[in-house]
Structure 1
Amino acid sequence: MNYRHAFHAGNHADVLKHVALLALCDALTIKPAPLFALDTHAGRGLYPLDGNSAQRTGEAEGGIGRLIAEAPKQPAIARYLAAVRACRSVHGPAAYPGSPWLLAHALREDDRIAACELQPEEAGQLRQHFHADPRMAVHARDGYAAMKALLPPKIGATRYNRGLVLIDPPYEAQLEEFDTALAALREGLARWPQGCYALWYPIKRRRALQPFYRRAAALPAKSILTAELLVRADDSPLRMNGSGLLLLNAPWQLDETLTAVLPALARTLGETSAAEGGLNWLKRPD
Protein backbone atom coordinates (compact mmCIF):
# COMPACT_ATOMS: atom_id res chain seq x y z
CA MET A 1 0.00 0.00 0.00
CA ASN A 2 1.49 3.33 -1.11
CA TYR A 3 -1.08 5.77 0.30
CA ARG A 4 0.18 8.40 2.76
CA HIS A 5 -2.44 10.60 4.35
CA ALA A 6 0.11 13.34 5.09
CA PHE A 7 -0.39 14.57 1.50
CA HIS A 8 -4.13 15.05 2.07
CA ALA A 9 -4.43 15.95 5.76
CA GLY A 10 -6.81 18.81 6.46
CA ASN A 11 -8.48 18.77 3.03
CA HIS A 12 -12.23 19.07 2.46
CA ALA A 13 -12.70 15.32 2.98
CA ASP A 14 -10.95 15.46 6.35
CA VAL A 15 -13.11 18.41 7.37
CA LEU A 16 -16.32 16.51 6.62
CA LYS A 17 -15.08 13.34 8.28
CA HIS A 18 -13.80 15.04 11.41
CA VAL A 19 -16.74 17.41 11.93
CA ALA A 20 -19.02 14.35 11.76
CA LEU A 21 -16.73 12.25 13.98
CA LEU A 22 -16.79 14.84 16.77
CA ALA A 23 -20.56 15.20 16.44
CA LEU A 24 -20.87 11.43 16.71
CA CYS A 25 -18.65 11.32 19.80
CA ASP A 26 -20.59 14.14 21.45
CA ALA A 27 -23.90 12.39 20.78
CA LEU A 28 -22.62 9.14 22.28
CA THR A 29 -21.04 10.68 25.38
CA ILE A 30 -24.33 12.23 26.48
CA LYS A 31 -24.98 8.93 28.26
CA PRO A 32 -22.62 8.01 31.12
CA ALA A 33 -21.87 4.39 30.17
CA PRO A 34 -18.29 3.92 28.91
CA LEU A 35 -17.61 3.69 25.17
CA PHE A 36 -15.29 1.75 22.91
CA ALA A 37 -14.01 3.28 19.67
CA LEU A 38 -12.23 1.37 16.89
CA ASP A 39 -10.36 3.33 14.22
CA THR A 40 -9.53 0.78 11.52
CA HIS A 41 -7.27 2.92 9.30
CA ALA A 42 -5.83 5.34 11.81
CA GLY A 43 -2.76 6.74 10.05
CA ARG A 44 -0.23 8.47 12.28
CA GLY A 45 -2.78 10.52 14.23
CA LEU A 46 -1.11 13.92 13.85
CA TYR A 47 0.11 15.81 10.77
CA PRO A 48 2.29 18.90 10.21
CA LEU A 49 0.62 21.06 7.56
CA ASP A 50 3.89 22.94 7.07
CA GLY A 51 5.66 19.68 6.17
CA ASN A 52 6.81 18.75 2.67
CA SER A 53 3.96 16.32 2.00
CA ALA A 54 1.14 18.73 2.86
CA GLN A 55 2.86 21.65 1.17
CA ARG A 56 3.35 19.66 -2.03
CA THR A 57 -0.40 19.25 -2.58
CA GLY A 58 -1.71 22.35 -0.79
CA GLU A 59 -5.00 20.54 -0.18
CA ALA A 60 -5.33 21.79 3.39
CA GLU A 61 -5.64 25.37 2.12
CA GLY A 62 -9.02 24.55 0.59
CA GLY A 63 -10.12 22.62 3.66
CA ILE A 64 -9.15 23.52 7.21
CA GLY A 65 -7.37 26.66 6.02
CA ARG A 66 -10.50 28.10 4.43
CA LEU A 67 -12.70 26.98 7.32
CA ILE A 68 -10.48 28.72 9.89
CA ALA A 69 -10.42 31.89 7.79
CA GLU A 70 -14.21 32.08 7.47
CA ALA A 71 -15.11 30.42 10.80
CA PRO A 72 -18.80 29.61 10.25
CA LYS A 73 -20.83 29.95 13.43
CA GLN A 74 -22.67 26.65 13.09
CA PRO A 75 -22.14 24.88 16.48
CA ALA A 76 -20.74 21.58 15.16
CA ILE A 77 -18.23 23.46 12.99
CA ALA A 78 -17.24 25.66 15.93
CA ARG A 79 -16.74 22.50 17.98
CA TYR A 80 -14.39 21.11 15.33
CA LEU A 81 -12.41 24.33 15.03
CA ALA A 82 -12.03 24.41 18.81
CA ALA A 83 -10.58 20.90 18.69
CA VAL A 84 -8.09 21.95 16.00
CA ARG A 85 -7.06 24.93 18.14
CA ALA A 86 -6.64 22.64 21.15
CA CYS A 87 -4.37 20.39 19.08
CA ARG A 88 -2.31 23.33 17.91
CA SER A 89 -1.94 24.68 21.43
CA VAL A 90 -0.02 21.50 22.27
CA HIS A 91 1.65 20.53 19.00
CA GLY A 92 2.27 23.84 17.25
CA PRO A 93 0.42 26.24 14.93
CA ALA A 94 0.67 24.03 11.84
CA ALA A 95 -0.51 20.79 13.45
CA TYR A 96 -3.58 18.98 12.19
CA PRO A 97 -5.31 16.27 14.26
CA GLY A 98 -6.11 12.94 12.67
CA SER A 99 -9.02 10.81 13.80
CA PRO A 100 -7.15 9.06 16.66
CA TRP A 101 -6.26 12.45 18.15
CA LEU A 102 -9.85 13.65 17.84
CA LEU A 103 -11.17 10.47 19.46
CA ALA A 104 -8.75 10.91 22.35
CA HIS A 105 -9.80 14.55 22.63
CA ALA A 106 -13.54 13.89 22.58
CA LEU A 107 -13.84 10.72 24.64
CA ARG A 108 -13.63 10.34 28.40
CA GLU A 109 -11.31 8.85 30.98
CA ASP A 110 -13.17 5.53 31.21
CA ASP A 111 -13.63 5.17 27.44
CA ARG A 112 -11.25 3.04 25.39
CA ILE A 113 -9.84 3.44 21.87
CA ALA A 114 -8.22 0.90 19.54
CA ALA A 115 -6.34 2.41 16.60
CA CYS A 116 -5.16 0.15 13.78
CA GLU A 117 -2.54 1.01 11.18
CA LEU A 118 -0.93 -1.45 8.78
CA GLN A 119 2.02 0.63 7.53
CA PRO A 120 4.93 0.15 9.97
CA GLU A 121 6.22 3.73 9.82
CA GLU A 122 2.78 5.22 10.35
CA ALA A 123 2.00 2.76 13.14
CA GLY A 124 5.27 3.68 14.83
CA GLN A 125 4.42 7.37 14.73
CA LEU A 126 0.93 6.62 16.03
CA ARG A 127 2.32 4.63 18.95
CA GLN A 128 4.79 7.42 19.73
CA HIS A 129 2.08 10.08 19.76
CA PHE A 130 -0.15 8.16 22.18
CA HIS A 131 2.29 6.17 24.31
CA ALA A 132 1.27 8.08 27.42
CA ASP A 133 -2.50 7.72 26.95
CA PRO A 134 -3.73 4.61 28.81
CA ARG A 135 -7.03 4.71 26.91
CA MET A 136 -5.37 4.16 23.53
CA ALA A 137 -4.23 0.77 22.22
CA VAL A 138 -2.30 0.92 18.95
CA HIS A 139 -2.42 -2.18 16.74
CA ALA A 140 0.03 -2.53 13.84
CA ARG A 141 -2.35 -4.68 11.82
CA ASP A 142 -4.98 -4.72 9.11
CA GLY A 143 -8.01 -2.82 10.32
CA TYR A 144 -10.57 -4.98 8.55
CA ALA A 145 -9.17 -8.10 10.21
CA ALA A 146 -9.17 -6.27 13.54
CA MET A 147 -12.94 -5.94 13.34
CA LYS A 148 -13.15 -9.72 13.70
CA ALA A 149 -10.57 -9.80 16.49
CA LEU A 150 -11.73 -6.80 18.54
CA LEU A 151 -15.52 -6.94 18.19
CA PRO A 152 -17.50 -7.31 20.35
CA PRO A 153 -15.20 -5.19 22.52
CA LYS A 154 -14.04 -6.57 25.84
CA ILE A 155 -11.06 -5.17 27.72
CA GLY A 156 -10.23 -6.97 30.93
CA ALA A 157 -13.50 -7.67 32.68
CA THR A 158 -15.31 -4.81 30.95
CA ARG A 159 -17.67 -5.44 28.07
CA TYR A 160 -18.51 -2.34 26.05
CA ASN A 161 -22.10 -2.24 24.87
CA ARG A 162 -21.81 1.18 23.26
CA GLY A 163 -19.37 2.86 20.92
CA LEU A 164 -18.31 3.39 17.35
CA VAL A 165 -16.23 2.02 14.52
CA LEU A 166 -14.61 4.41 12.03
CA ILE A 167 -13.56 2.85 8.72
CA ASP A 168 -11.46 5.20 6.60
CA PRO A 169 -9.59 3.17 3.96
CA PRO A 170 -7.40 4.70 1.24
CA TYR A 171 -9.45 3.28 -1.69
CA GLU A 172 -6.32 2.32 -3.59
CA ALA A 173 -8.42 -0.54 -5.00
CA GLN A 174 -10.91 2.03 -6.32
CA LEU A 175 -14.50 0.70 -6.44
CA GLU A 176 -13.37 -2.75 -5.32
CA GLU A 177 -12.72 -1.25 -1.87
CA PHE A 178 -16.48 -0.95 -1.39
CA ASP A 179 -16.80 -4.74 -1.57
CA THR A 180 -14.27 -5.16 1.21
CA ALA A 181 -15.74 -2.37 3.32
CA LEU A 182 -19.33 -3.61 3.04
CA ALA A 183 -18.27 -7.14 3.94
CA ALA A 184 -16.46 -5.74 7.00
CA LEU A 185 -19.55 -3.78 8.01
CA ARG A 186 -21.71 -6.87 7.74
CA GLU A 187 -19.21 -8.79 9.86
CA GLY A 188 -19.06 -5.98 12.41
CA LEU A 189 -22.83 -5.76 12.71
CA ALA A 190 -23.03 -9.52 13.27
CA ARG A 191 -20.50 -9.28 16.08
CA TRP A 192 -21.54 -5.96 17.63
CA PRO A 193 -25.00 -5.03 16.33
CA GLN A 194 -25.51 -2.14 18.74
CA GLY A 195 -22.35 -0.31 17.65
CA CYS A 196 -22.36 2.83 15.51
CA TYR A 197 -20.40 2.50 12.27
CA ALA A 198 -19.03 5.26 10.02
CA LEU A 199 -17.51 4.44 6.62
CA TRP A 200 -15.83 7.30 4.75
CA TYR A 201 -15.86 7.13 0.93
CA PRO A 202 -14.65 9.38 -1.91
CA ILE A 203 -17.01 10.75 -4.56
CA LYS A 204 -15.83 11.20 -8.13
CA ARG A 205 -19.04 10.52 -10.04
CA ARG A 206 -22.00 9.82 -7.80
CA ARG A 207 -23.79 7.67 -10.36
CA ALA A 208 -20.95 5.17 -10.13
CA LEU A 209 -21.84 4.72 -6.45
CA GLN A 210 -25.41 3.56 -7.03
CA PRO A 211 -24.55 -0.16 -6.56
CA PHE A 212 -22.82 0.76 -3.29
CA TYR A 213 -25.88 2.65 -2.03
CA ARG A 214 -28.16 -0.28 -2.88
CA ARG A 215 -25.96 -2.81 -1.13
CA ALA A 216 -25.44 -0.55 1.86
CA ALA A 217 -29.21 -0.15 2.26
CA ALA A 218 -29.49 -3.94 2.69
CA LEU A 219 -27.10 -4.11 5.66
CA PRO A 220 -28.72 -5.41 8.89
CA ALA A 221 -28.53 -2.11 10.78
CA LYS A 222 -31.34 -0.33 12.59
CA SER A 223 -30.74 2.83 10.57
CA ILE A 224 -28.59 3.74 7.56
CA LEU A 225 -27.88 7.20 6.18
CA THR A 226 -25.31 9.02 4.07
CA ALA A 227 -23.85 12.46 4.71
CA GLU A 228 -22.11 13.92 1.66
CA LEU A 229 -20.18 17.03 0.73
CA LEU A 230 -19.36 17.97 -2.87
CA VAL A 231 -17.01 20.90 -3.46
CA ARG A 232 -17.55 20.80 -7.23
CA ALA A 233 -19.70 18.95 -9.75
CA ASP A 234 -19.37 15.17 -9.61
CA ASP A 235 -18.64 14.93 -13.32
CA SER A 236 -15.05 13.69 -13.50
CA PRO A 237 -13.67 10.21 -12.74
CA LEU A 238 -10.14 11.64 -12.51
CA ARG A 239 -10.39 13.56 -9.24
CA MET A 240 -12.15 13.48 -5.90
CA ASN A 241 -15.00 15.97 -6.20
CA GLY A 242 -16.35 15.30 -2.75
CA SER A 243 -16.80 12.61 -0.17
CA GLY A 244 -19.33 11.04 2.10
CA LEU A 245 -19.92 9.05 5.25
CA LEU A 246 -22.11 5.99 5.44
CA LEU A 247 -23.51 6.00 8.98
CA LEU A 248 -25.07 2.90 10.53
CA ASN A 249 -27.00 3.03 13.81
CA ALA A 250 -26.38 6.75 14.15
CA PRO A 251 -27.29 8.10 17.62
CA TRP A 252 -30.42 10.14 18.19
CA GLN A 253 -30.41 13.62 16.62
CA LEU A 254 -27.11 13.17 14.78
CA ASP A 255 -29.06 13.53 11.55
CA GLU A 256 -30.35 16.94 12.68
CA THR A 257 -26.81 18.07 13.48
CA LEU A 258 -25.47 16.97 10.11
CA THR A 259 -28.43 18.43 8.22
CA ALA A 260 -27.42 21.84 9.60
CA VAL A 261 -23.69 21.32 9.07
CA LEU A 262 -23.52 20.08 5.49
CA PRO A 263 -24.89 23.17 3.67
CA ALA A 264 -22.61 25.38 5.76
CA LEU A 265 -19.59 23.31 4.75
CA ALA A 266 -20.64 23.45 1.09
CA ARG A 267 -20.94 27.25 1.22
CA THR A 268 -17.53 27.60 2.85
CA LEU A 269 -15.49 24.93 1.07
CA GLY A 270 -17.25 24.84 -2.29
CA GLU A 271 -15.06 25.61 -5.31
CA THR A 272 -17.88 26.04 -7.85
CA SER A 273 -21.59 26.79 -7.84
CA ALA A 274 -22.22 23.04 -8.03
CA ALA A 275 -21.00 22.55 -4.45
CA GLU A 276 -23.59 20.97 -2.19
CA GLY A 277 -23.98 19.09 1.03
CA GLY A 278 -26.81 16.85 2.06
CA LEU A 279 -28.05 13.91 4.06
CA ASN A 280 -29.99 10.96 2.68
CA TRP A 281 -31.70 8.16 4.57
CA LEU A 282 -31.19 4.70 3.06
CA LYS A 283 -33.05 3.13 5.98
CA ARG A 284 -34.88 5.13 8.62
CA PRO A 285 -35.04 3.88 12.20
CA ASP A 286 -38.27 2.14 13.20
Structure 2
Amino acid sequence: MNYRHAFHAGNHADVLKHVALLALCDALTAKPAPLFALDTHAGRGLYALDADAARRTGEAEGGIGRLLAEAPRQPLLRRYLDAVRACRLAHGRAAYPGSPWLLAHALREQDRIAACELHPEEADVLRRHFAADPRMAVHERDGYAALKALLPPRTGATRYARGLVLIDPPYEAQLDEFDAVLGALRDALARWPQAVYAVWYPIKLRRALRPFHRRAAALPAKSALVAELLVRADDSPLRMNGSGLLLLNPPWQFDAALRAALPALARVLGEGPGAGGEVRWLVAPE
Protein backbone atom coordinates (compact mmCIF):
# COMPACT_ATOMS: atom_id res chain seq x y z
CA MET A 1 0.00 0.00 0.00
CA ASN A 2 2.62 2.53 -1.06
CA TYR A 3 0.29 4.46 -3.36
CA ARG A 4 -0.88 7.93 -2.30
CA HIS A 5 -3.27 9.68 -4.65
CA ALA A 6 -2.22 13.07 -3.26
CA PHE A 7 0.75 12.96 -5.67
CA HIS A 8 -1.57 12.56 -8.67
CA ALA A 9 -4.74 14.46 -7.71
CA GLY A 10 -6.13 16.61 -10.49
CA ASN A 11 -4.06 15.03 -13.28
CA HIS A 12 -5.44 14.13 -16.71
CA ALA A 13 -6.65 10.75 -15.46
CA ASP A 14 -8.61 12.37 -12.64
CA VAL A 15 -10.16 14.79 -15.10
CA LEU A 16 -11.49 12.01 -17.33
CA LYS A 17 -12.68 9.93 -14.38
CA HIS A 18 -14.40 12.80 -12.61
CA VAL A 19 -16.05 14.24 -15.72
CA ALA A 20 -17.61 10.83 -16.32
CA LEU A 21 -18.48 10.29 -12.65
CA LEU A 22 -20.48 13.51 -12.44
CA ALA A 23 -22.22 12.75 -15.71
CA LEU A 24 -23.20 9.31 -14.41
CA CYS A 25 -24.56 10.82 -11.20
CA ASP A 26 -26.60 13.38 -13.13
CA ALA A 27 -28.05 10.72 -15.42
CA LEU A 28 -28.99 8.49 -12.50
CA THR A 29 -30.53 11.26 -10.39
CA ALA A 30 -32.79 12.25 -13.28
CA LYS A 31 -35.19 9.66 -11.84
CA PRO A 32 -36.62 10.17 -8.32
CA ALA A 33 -35.89 6.75 -6.80
CA PRO A 34 -33.09 6.71 -4.19
CA LEU A 35 -29.61 5.56 -5.24
CA PHE A 36 -26.72 3.78 -3.61
CA ALA A 37 -23.14 4.57 -4.65
CA LEU A 38 -20.09 2.51 -3.70
CA ASP A 39 -16.57 3.91 -4.11
CA THR A 40 -14.21 0.97 -3.64
CA HIS A 41 -10.87 2.83 -3.57
CA ALA A 42 -11.89 6.19 -2.22
CA GLY A 43 -8.65 7.80 -1.02
CA ARG A 44 -9.00 10.75 1.31
CA GLY A 45 -11.79 12.44 -0.64
CA LEU A 46 -10.30 15.93 -0.75
CA TYR A 47 -6.84 17.15 -1.78
CA ALA A 48 -4.77 20.31 -1.57
CA LEU A 49 -2.94 21.03 -4.81
CA ASP A 50 -0.58 23.44 -3.04
CA ALA A 51 0.59 20.68 -0.68
CA ASP A 52 4.07 19.20 -1.07
CA ALA A 53 2.86 15.94 -2.63
CA ALA A 54 1.00 17.63 -5.47
CA ARG A 55 3.71 20.25 -6.06
CA ARG A 56 6.38 17.56 -6.19
CA THR A 57 4.87 15.92 -9.29
CA GLY A 58 3.14 18.95 -10.83
CA GLU A 59 0.65 16.60 -12.49
CA ALA A 60 -2.35 18.77 -11.70
CA GLU A 61 -0.92 21.55 -13.85
CA GLY A 62 -1.36 19.35 -16.92
CA GLY A 63 -4.86 18.32 -15.86
CA ILE A 64 -7.28 20.49 -13.92
CA GLY A 65 -4.90 23.47 -14.22
CA ARG A 66 -5.14 23.49 -18.00
CA LEU A 67 -8.86 22.89 -18.03
CA LEU A 68 -9.58 25.75 -15.62
CA ALA A 69 -7.40 28.09 -17.68
CA GLU A 70 -9.09 27.10 -20.94
CA ALA A 71 -12.63 26.85 -19.46
CA PRO A 72 -14.22 24.96 -22.37
CA ARG A 73 -17.97 25.38 -22.67
CA GLN A 74 -18.80 21.78 -23.53
CA PRO A 75 -21.63 20.82 -21.11
CA LEU A 76 -19.98 17.84 -19.36
CA LEU A 77 -16.75 19.77 -18.90
CA ARG A 78 -18.57 22.86 -17.68
CA ARG A 79 -20.43 20.71 -15.15
CA TYR A 80 -17.14 19.32 -13.87
CA LEU A 81 -15.46 22.72 -13.64
CA ASP A 82 -18.47 24.09 -11.74
CA ALA A 83 -18.06 21.27 -9.21
CA VAL A 84 -14.35 22.00 -8.79
CA ARG A 85 -15.14 25.68 -8.24
CA ALA A 86 -17.79 24.75 -5.66
CA CYS A 87 -15.20 22.60 -3.87
CA ARG A 88 -12.75 25.51 -3.82
CA LEU A 89 -15.39 27.89 -2.56
CA ALA A 90 -15.97 25.54 0.37
CA HIS A 91 -12.40 24.40 1.05
CA GLY A 92 -9.96 26.94 -0.37
CA ARG A 93 -8.57 27.99 -3.72
CA ALA A 94 -6.13 25.05 -3.99
CA ALA A 95 -8.66 22.34 -3.11
CA TYR A 96 -9.38 19.47 -5.48
CA PRO A 97 -12.32 17.07 -4.99
CA GLY A 98 -11.79 13.34 -4.95
CA SER A 99 -14.53 10.95 -6.00
CA PRO A 100 -16.21 10.77 -2.55
CA TRP A 101 -16.55 14.56 -2.51
CA LEU A 102 -18.00 14.56 -6.03
CA LEU A 103 -20.49 11.84 -5.13
CA ALA A 104 -21.59 13.80 -2.07
CA HIS A 105 -21.86 16.93 -4.22
CA ALA A 106 -23.90 15.33 -7.00
CA LEU A 107 -26.19 12.97 -5.13
CA ARG A 108 -29.30 13.86 -3.14
CA GLU A 109 -30.58 13.72 0.41
CA GLN A 110 -32.33 10.38 -0.19
CA ASP A 111 -29.23 8.74 -1.66
CA ARG A 112 -26.54 6.84 0.24
CA ILE A 113 -22.78 6.53 -0.35
CA ALA A 114 -20.28 3.96 0.91
CA ALA A 115 -16.61 4.93 0.56
CA CYS A 116 -13.92 2.29 1.15
CA GLU A 117 -10.26 2.99 1.84
CA LEU A 118 -7.81 0.38 3.08
CA HIS A 119 -4.95 2.65 4.21
CA PRO A 120 -5.63 3.67 7.85
CA GLU A 121 -4.31 7.22 7.57
CA GLU A 122 -6.23 7.95 4.38
CA ALA A 123 -9.38 6.37 5.81
CA ASP A 124 -9.12 8.53 8.93
CA VAL A 125 -8.86 11.71 6.85
CA LEU A 126 -11.80 10.57 4.73
CA ARG A 127 -13.88 9.87 7.81
CA ARG A 128 -13.16 13.32 9.24
CA HIS A 129 -14.02 15.06 5.97
CA PHE A 130 -17.51 13.53 5.92
CA ALA A 131 -18.28 13.19 9.62
CA ALA A 132 -21.22 15.61 9.31
CA ASP A 133 -22.76 13.98 6.22
CA PRO A 134 -25.35 11.34 7.23
CA ARG A 135 -25.43 9.95 3.67
CA MET A 136 -21.78 8.88 3.76
CA ALA A 137 -20.49 5.69 5.39
CA VAL A 138 -16.70 5.30 5.45
CA HIS A 139 -15.29 1.77 5.59
CA GLU A 140 -11.64 1.09 6.39
CA ARG A 141 -11.47 -2.07 4.36
CA ASP A 142 -10.41 -3.64 1.09
CA GLY A 143 -12.59 -2.38 -1.73
CA TYR A 144 -12.86 -5.71 -3.52
CA ALA A 145 -14.02 -7.41 -0.31
CA ALA A 146 -16.55 -4.60 0.15
CA LEU A 147 -18.25 -5.57 -3.10
CA LYS A 148 -19.17 -8.89 -1.51
CA ALA A 149 -20.07 -7.41 1.86
CA LEU A 150 -22.09 -4.39 0.74
CA LEU A 151 -23.87 -5.63 -2.39
CA PRO A 152 -26.75 -5.83 -2.93
CA PRO A 153 -27.13 -2.62 -0.94
CA ARG A 154 -29.67 -2.12 1.80
CA THR A 155 -30.07 0.62 4.40
CA GLY A 156 -32.62 -0.25 7.06
CA ALA A 157 -35.81 -1.08 5.20
CA THR A 158 -34.60 0.53 1.96
CA ARG A 159 -33.48 -1.71 -0.87
CA TYR A 160 -31.77 0.07 -3.73
CA ALA A 161 -32.80 -1.03 -7.19
CA ARG A 162 -30.46 1.45 -8.87
CA GLY A 163 -27.00 2.77 -8.22
CA LEU A 164 -23.37 3.18 -9.14
CA VAL A 165 -20.16 1.34 -8.29
CA LEU A 166 -16.82 3.06 -8.93
CA ILE A 167 -13.74 0.81 -8.96
CA ASP A 168 -10.55 2.86 -9.10
CA PRO A 169 -7.59 0.82 -7.82
CA PRO A 170 -4.00 2.14 -7.90
CA TYR A 171 -2.77 -0.68 -10.21
CA GLU A 172 0.29 -1.30 -8.07
CA ALA A 173 0.14 -4.86 -9.43
CA GLN A 174 0.06 -3.39 -12.96
CA LEU A 175 -1.57 -5.74 -15.50
CA ASP A 176 -2.25 -8.35 -12.81
CA GLU A 177 -4.73 -5.90 -11.27
CA PHE A 178 -7.10 -6.60 -14.16
CA ASP A 179 -7.58 -10.16 -12.90
CA ALA A 180 -8.79 -8.78 -9.56
CA VAL A 181 -11.01 -6.22 -11.29
CA LEU A 182 -12.68 -8.75 -13.58
CA GLY A 183 -13.22 -11.25 -10.79
CA ALA A 184 -14.77 -8.56 -8.61
CA LEU A 185 -17.04 -7.39 -11.43
CA ARG A 186 -18.29 -10.90 -12.17
CA ASP A 187 -19.16 -11.44 -8.50
CA ALA A 188 -20.73 -7.98 -8.13
CA LEU A 189 -22.89 -8.44 -11.22
CA ALA A 190 -24.24 -11.66 -9.75
CA ARG A 191 -25.18 -9.78 -6.59
CA TRP A 192 -26.44 -6.50 -8.10
CA PRO A 193 -26.86 -6.94 -11.87
CA GLN A 194 -28.80 -3.74 -12.56
CA ALA A 195 -26.18 -1.32 -11.20
CA VAL A 196 -23.91 0.87 -13.30
CA TYR A 197 -20.25 -0.12 -12.87
CA ALA A 198 -17.40 2.26 -13.74
CA VAL A 199 -13.82 0.94 -13.73
CA TRP A 200 -10.90 3.32 -14.26
CA TYR A 201 -7.64 1.99 -15.73
CA PRO A 202 -4.30 3.47 -16.85
CA ILE A 203 -3.04 3.27 -20.43
CA LYS A 204 0.65 2.78 -21.16
CA LEU A 205 0.73 0.51 -24.22
CA ARG A 206 -2.81 0.34 -25.55
CA ARG A 207 -2.35 -3.05 -27.20
CA ALA A 208 -1.63 -4.56 -23.78
CA LEU A 209 -5.27 -3.87 -22.84
CA ARG A 210 -6.80 -6.10 -25.52
CA PRO A 211 -7.07 -9.18 -23.28
CA PHE A 212 -8.78 -7.07 -20.59
CA HIS A 213 -11.31 -5.74 -23.09
CA ARG A 214 -12.02 -9.23 -24.47
CA ARG A 215 -12.64 -10.61 -21.00
CA ALA A 216 -14.74 -7.58 -20.03
CA ALA A 217 -16.95 -8.17 -23.07
CA ALA A 218 -17.68 -11.68 -21.73
CA LEU A 219 -18.99 -10.42 -18.37
CA PRO A 220 -22.72 -10.95 -17.69
CA ALA A 221 -23.64 -7.29 -18.17
CA LYS A 222 -26.34 -6.01 -20.51
CA SER A 223 -23.87 -3.61 -22.15
CA ALA A 224 -20.22 -2.62 -21.89
CA LEU A 225 -18.73 0.68 -23.04
CA VAL A 226 -15.11 1.85 -23.14
CA ALA A 227 -14.05 5.52 -23.08
CA GLU A 228 -10.35 6.32 -23.42
CA LEU A 229 -8.32 9.52 -23.41
CA LEU A 230 -4.71 9.63 -24.58
CA VAL A 231 -2.66 12.74 -23.85
CA ARG A 232 0.28 11.47 -25.92
CA ALA A 233 1.16 8.50 -28.11
CA ASP A 234 0.88 5.15 -26.32
CA ASP A 235 4.43 4.17 -27.24
CA SER A 236 6.11 3.70 -23.87
CA PRO A 237 5.44 1.17 -21.10
CA LEU A 238 7.30 3.39 -18.61
CA ARG A 239 4.72 6.15 -18.25
CA MET A 240 0.96 6.64 -18.17
CA ASN A 241 0.06 7.97 -21.61
CA GLY A 242 -3.65 8.14 -20.95
CA SER A 243 -6.43 6.37 -19.15
CA GLY A 244 -9.76 4.75 -19.75
CA LEU A 245 -13.08 3.82 -18.24
CA LEU A 246 -14.91 0.54 -18.58
CA LEU A 247 -18.62 1.21 -18.07
CA LEU A 248 -21.03 -1.67 -17.54
CA ASN A 249 -24.76 -0.96 -17.93
CA PRO A 250 -24.21 2.76 -18.67
CA PRO A 251 -27.27 5.03 -18.85
CA TRP A 252 -29.10 5.52 -22.12
CA GLN A 253 -27.18 7.72 -24.59
CA PHE A 254 -24.23 8.01 -22.24
CA ASP A 255 -21.92 7.05 -25.08
CA ALA A 256 -23.05 10.09 -27.08
CA ALA A 257 -22.44 12.40 -24.12
CA LEU A 258 -18.87 11.14 -23.71
CA ARG A 259 -18.17 11.32 -27.45
CA ALA A 260 -19.14 14.98 -27.36
CA ALA A 261 -16.77 15.72 -24.45
CA LEU A 262 -13.64 13.79 -25.38
CA PRO A 263 -12.44 15.95 -28.32
CA ALA A 264 -12.34 19.04 -26.09
CA LEU A 265 -10.50 17.10 -23.38
CA ALA A 266 -7.94 15.81 -25.87
CA ARG A 267 -7.43 19.29 -27.30
CA VAL A 268 -6.86 20.93 -23.91
CA LEU A 269 -4.94 18.14 -22.18
CA GLY A 270 -3.03 16.72 -25.15
CA GLU A 271 0.76 16.92 -24.99
CA GLY A 272 1.71 16.13 -28.57
CA PRO A 273 1.13 13.70 -31.42
CA GLY A 274 -1.07 10.77 -30.52
CA ALA A 275 -3.42 12.68 -28.22
CA GLY A 276 -7.07 11.86 -28.73
CA GLY A 277 -10.16 10.21 -27.35
CA GLU A 278 -12.31 7.25 -28.29
CA VAL A 279 -15.63 5.81 -27.14
CA ARG A 280 -16.65 2.36 -28.33
CA TRP A 281 -19.00 -0.43 -27.36
CA LEU A 282 -17.60 -3.77 -26.30
CA VAL A 283 -21.16 -5.01 -25.92
CA ALA A 284 -23.83 -2.75 -27.45
CA PRO A 285 -27.20 -2.48 -25.73
CA GLU A 286 -30.05 -4.36 -27.34
Q: Runs of 5+ in structure 2 lacking a partner?
A: none
**Whole-angstrom CA distance in 1 between matches of 2:179 and 2:280:** 21
Matching of residues 243-262 of structure 1 within 5 Å: 243-262=243-262
Aligned residue type for 1:8: H
Aligned residue type for 1:90: A
Matching of residues 76-225 of structure 1 within 5 Å: 76-225=76-225
The equivalent of 2:63 in structure 1 is: 63
- Taking structure 2 as the reference length, the TM-score comes to 1.00
SS at match of 1:171: coil
The equivalent of 2:75 in structure 1 is: 75
Runs of 4+ in 1 over 2 A off after TM superposition: none
SS at match of 1:6: helix
Percent identical: 80
Question: How far apart are residue 263 of structure 1 and its match?
Answer: 1.1
Aligned residue type for 2:148: K
- Deviation string for 1:99-122 (max 9, x for gaps)? 000000000000000000000000
SS at match of 2:174: coil
The equivalent of 1:6 in structure 2 is: 6
CA RMSD of aligned residues (A): 0.4
- Deviation string for 1:39-75 (max 9, x for gaps)? 0000000000000000000000000000000011100
Q: Runs of 5+ in structure 1 lacking a partner?
A: none
Of 112-121 and 273-282, the range deviating more from structure 2: 273-282
- Taking structure 1 as the reference length, the TM-score comes to 1.00
**Whole-angstrom CA distance in 2 between matches of 1:50 and 1:230:** 26
SS at match of 1:189: helix
The equivalent of 2:234 in structure 1 is: 234
SS at match of 1:175: helix
- Deviation string for 1:171-206 (max 9, x for gaps)? 000000000000000011000000000000000000
The equivalent of 2:37 in structure 1 is: 37
**Whole-angstrom CA distance in 1 between matches of 2:155 and 2:141:** 18
**Whole-angstrom CA distance in 2 between matches of 1:28 and 1:253:** 12
**Whole-angstrom CA distance in 2 between matches of 1:169 and 1:141:** 13
Aligned residue type for 1:108: R
Question: How far apart are residue 273 of structure 1 and its match?
Answer: 2.4
**Whole-angstrom CA distance in 1 between matches of 2:257 and 2:105:** 20
**Whole-angstrom CA distance in 1 between matches of 2:128 and 2:174:** 31
